[in-house]
Structure 1
Amino acid sequence: MPVLTTDPVHRTAAVRAAACTLNAFGRSYLGGHLEVTWSPPGSRPRTPAGSEYLAAGRAVETALRQRPVENR
């Protein structure tokens, strides 16, 4: 079973986005690790979940489009 992880570990929206994107591309058999880095403006301690979801999904999509299709 593939495992998706993030650093920091509390980025659950990023994990959900990665899983959905992998599934949409027919690559749900892949796992991976997302490293989420973000410097909050002012004193905001967290990224809004919607923004995190979109950014992670786009990052995974970009990575998939840059890699050759693997034969399974």
Structure 2
Amino acid sequence: MKRLSRNLAYLFISLAIIFMLAFNLIGSEVATDGVLQEPFFLIPFSYVSFVLGIIFAVISVVKKKKN
């Protein structure tokens, strides 16, 4: 179980980094009709993934200290 929470922490933090990189690489632009086009959905996904990664990292550290 210790490995699972540590691996989940790595996974979610990696996903957060990937989402932010994708947001920056895709970029945003203004269409000819004045509408802003950007992949805004990646920002909340990144924040949620990062928070979940931190939570699982804390769980992993607490379990490691307990044993």
TM-score over 0.5 for the pair: no
* TM-score of Structure 1 vs Structure 2, range by shorter chain: 0.3 to 0.5
Give TM-score, length-normalised by structure 2.
Answer: 0.35
Highest RCO, 1 vs 2 (Cα 8 Å, sep ≥ 6): 2
Greater strand share, structure number? 1
Rg: which structure is higher?
A: 2
Greater helix share, structure number? 2
